[in-house]
Chain A
């Protein structure tokens, strides 16, 4: 089966119908396991005390904030190149989920930053690029709602998504580009020396998997809703013209 067969809305609806409950259930299970493990069964950090427990929400949310934009970029590129409507709708559906993840990352970061850095906010490279990414999410969603013609909206939001991708990349690598600011470098690394201790690493890995599956489940639910709304709009137009 070709990947492009999913460009057919009827096929997409048929294939994704059983995936939604499966992804939702699995994501809930992984989130419960990861968060209970991290919150109740891991020790405090010797420097950060119990605030290290914020790590289990902050890191997965920040990861998904960037990856959601990546998913939108992929959907936008497919729309611009191949004009498949479902891909534009996937990008549209991912934005509210991505903005929620970005908001969680900003909120938990501010709450964590206050006791550790002595401030809720600093114009640090990573924090600032994340704030700009958040504003891009809002602009992207506003643009979708501001334009009546769906194809024009898909075109313009896709271009905005391409531009915003610069900040999605900056959000991830800003700490490496500018070796300054309060935010530390990446907490997770394939290099064992640089990675967090295993006792914190395994529960966050489970939570990250839960966030990924939750994102996929929500994007599928929202894309299916968008497809239904398109069909509803077409039927309502036919009713009016009859």
Chain B
């Protein structure tokens, strides 16, 4: 870990906040995609089975 000196809080907060936001958009996109794929597969299954 590099010595961040007197700005350690600012640098850590900037990285933590950015990673949290990037993680949130990646997770939201992935989970919404999974749900849409599952729901569509179920709807197409119902359609095939009449």
Residues of A near any B CB (own CB < 8 A):
39-40, 44, 49-51, 53-54, 57-58, 61, 96-97, 100, 103-104, 107-108, 111-112, 114-115, 214, 218, 221-222, 224-225, 228-229, 231-232, 235-236, 238-239
Q: Judge whether B11 and A232 touch: CB under 8 Å.
A: no
Q: Judge whether A100 and B2 touch: CB under 8 Å.
A: no
Contacting residues, chain B, for A103 (C-beta < 8 A): 21
Is the contact region of chain B dominated by helix, strand, or loop, or is it mixed? helix
Q: Judge whether A115 and B7 touch: CB under 8 Å.
A: yes
* Tally of A-B Cβ pairs under 8 angstroms: 95
Map CB proximity to A onto B1-28 as digits: 1 under 8 Å, 0 otherwise. 0111111101101110110011011101
Known: A51-B10, A57-B15, A228-B37. 12 other contacts (CB 8 A): A96-B29, A107-B17, A107-B18, A115-B10, A218-B26, A218-B29, A222-B32, A225-B36, A229-B36, A232-B43, A235-B43, A239-B47
Alpha-carbon distance between A85 and B24 when the two chains are bound, in angstroms: 27
Q: What is the distance, in angstroms, from B24's C-beta to the closest C-beta of chain A?
A: 7
Chain B residue nearest in CB terms to A24: B26
Map CB proximity to A onto B25-48 as digits: 1 under 8 Å, 0 otherwise. 110111011001101100110110
CB-based closest 9 A-B pairs: A50-B4, A228-B36, A235-B43, A100-B25, A54-B14, A225-B33, A111-B14, A108-B14, A57-B18
Q: Judge whether B10 and A222 touch: CB under 8 Å.
A: no
Alpha-carbon distance between A89 and B32 when the two chains are bound, in angstroms: 15
